[in-house]
A and B are shown apart, each in its own frame.
Chain A
Amino acid sequence: MNPVEITNHYIRQASELMGLGSRVELLLLSAEAEHHVSVPIELDNGDVAVFSGYRIQHNSARGPMKGGLRFHPSVDADDVRALASLMTWKTAVVNIPYGGAKGGVACDPATLSAGELERLTRKFTQRIGSEIGPQRDIPAPDVNTNAQVMAWIMDEYSRMHGYSPAVVTGKPLELQGSAGREAATGRGVVHVVEQALADAGRSIDGATIAVQGFGNVGAHVALLAHRLGARIVAVSDASGGVRHPDGLDVPRLFTEFAVPRRDLAGYEDDGVRALSQEELLTEDVDVLVPAALGGVLDEQVAKDLRARMVVEAANGPTVPEADALLADRGIPVLPDILANAGGVTVSYFEWAQNIQSMRWTEDDVNRRLAQVMLDSYRTVRGLVEQRKLTWRTAAYVVGLGRVAKATVLRGV
């Protein structure tokens, strides 16, 4: 199954349960608009290169559409379409007033100079400049895009429409970015981990956690959970993994391997052993947090998995067959659309600050984030308990239900 089919599979499951009917289901699965643009730029050597850019706007029933913008060679319409739909359900699960969208440019930023990247970003912004906007569609950083790229988009869009910081989120703090956004996704994941452990009668203090992925999300999950007393017994990145049965020195790992990005394979410390990705995924821990790529939890991993629960920090880390197997084994999987929604939630806070020309403190942001994550977690848990659903199905029912209600209340 490709990413679109996987997302649609879960949506159909929820739709059937709610009895929405095939026509309303079709309406909810279809993207409102798909913009495919060509993005020509002049390279530093004087040649002209033309890139393919996309912005797919899935659903705006609950508000302006929201979703990341990625620069990656694998970007294509299918991929972007699935991710756009996922954003619709994610913003609905955490009940922030947004729809879903996603975009990207098919390019390899590693081969582009800073100047080329800026020209690419500005040209792409010109191409989609009439389709995005603070009350229409608000892009954010994603794979290979960052605060600087958002600053260029904001500047280019503002040239077209007047000063508009609220057109993108994930901006630098100096350009109306929000405090607390960098750590937001990881922080949201840790709120879910903490609450799920508490419901299982455990404290996060002393719980064992394995984190796959040590990028922005994984590193913040490890760091924040460590601060709450969790033992992070294993982490990994693309280069390999490290483990320590009593818990790794996460603050050291964070400052030496996450802030300046370095391969974890090079980490050495007393009692630290190397481990493979496969070993990490089947570690005997209280919580497994996949925080890297999609599709890593396949059927084999699901059979061998020894964690007591899985909390999905990455998008789509569990394939449907593995999802069903884990459900049979009674291992809860806290799904991506709930667990990793902290990022888009703080994006919403940034946008809310921008349109009011206000600035919140980091404490304000973190307090409100905790509240949103907790409320969403409890809403989903309510359905898990009352209707005996898996966490994933329950989360999709909440997301789909909110979008369906907004749709029928507004009228088709």
Chain B
Amino acid sequence: MGIDPADARAFPGFAQLDDRSIDDLRARMRPVRLRPGETLFHRGERNASLYLLFRGDVDIVETDGERAVATRRARTVIGELGLLLDVPRTATVVAATDVLCWEITQQAFSAAIERGEPWAARLALAVASELAARFVDVRSELTRLDATNGPAHRPAELEQLRNRLLAEWAF
């Protein structure tokens, strides 16, 4: 089953790739098709591939059989932590619809980077952008939690208030 060059160019960052680069990309990748409910990989699995989701939606679940904690839609990357860190899969990914994605193994990705294939640099950038966006979300969530659940006054503030009251309002 071949990979359609038009599909490839629809992926973020790949629009400007020339035909040669698209050919490189197609040579390194293997298409994976899933029916709704089929699993791409399980939490805890040692699998260092990265997937480009071209069509359909997948659910991210923390433990097999539990409800989804997040949904990823077409034209995003999946499994980037497995590619970057040598850790088991942190979540299970299940197809929510009919899904088409392309798999690239860690070895193939490393080889493409070594050889300076343009698509690999672009993909690395796409993964970095995705991680940066998630970092921003997490940081704002932490700030929000701190504001709602934080102590009435941080110790430093109480201490300041105490010193100021005793100094300025002596009676």
Which residues of chain A have a CB within 8 Å of any CB of chain B? 18-21, 23-24, 26-27, 379, 382-383, 397-398, 401-402, 404-405, 408-409, 411-412
Contacts and interface: CB of A to CB of B under 8 A. Distances in A.
Contacts of B165: 18, 401, 404-405, 408
B161 A401 contact: no
A169 B153 CA distance: 37
Given A21-B153, A23-B153, A397 B169 contact: yes
Q: Which 9 A-B pairs have the closest CB atoms?
A: A408-B162, A23-B152, A401-B169, A379-B171, A405-B165, A408-B161, A408-B158, A398-B171, A23-B153
Given A19-B164, A405-B169, A412-B151, 16 more contacts: A18-B165, A18-B169, A21-B157, A21-B161, A23-B153, A24-B153, A26-B152, A379-B171, A382-B171, A401-B165, A402-B171, A404-B165, A405-B166, A408-B162, A411-B158, A412-B152
Nearest to A18: B169
Contacts of A383: 171
A373 B33 CA distance: 88
A381 to B, nearest CB: 11
Contact of B162 (A19, A398, A405): A405
Given A24-B153, A382-B171, A412 B158 contact: yes
Interface of B: 151-153, 157-158, 161-162, 164-166, 169, 171
22 contacts: A18-B165, A24-B152, A24-B153, A24-B161, A27-B152, A383-B171, A397-B169, A398-B171, A401-B169, A401-B171, A402-B171, A404-B165, A405-B165, A405-B169, A408-B158, A408-B162, A408-B165, A409-B162, A411-B158, A412-B151, A412-B153, A412-B158
Nearest to B159: A408
Contacts of B158: 408, 411-412
**Residue from B151, B153, B165 whose CB has the most chain A CB atoms within 10 Å:** B165
A383 B152 CA distance: 29
A368 B162 CA distance: 31
A398 B162 CA distance: 15
Nearest to A387: B169
Contacts of A409: 162
A19 B162 CA distance: 12
A382 B169 CA distance: 11
Nearest to B163: A408
Contacts of A19: 164
Contacts of A408: 158, 161-162, 165
A21 B164 CA distance: 13
A311 to B, nearest CB: 21
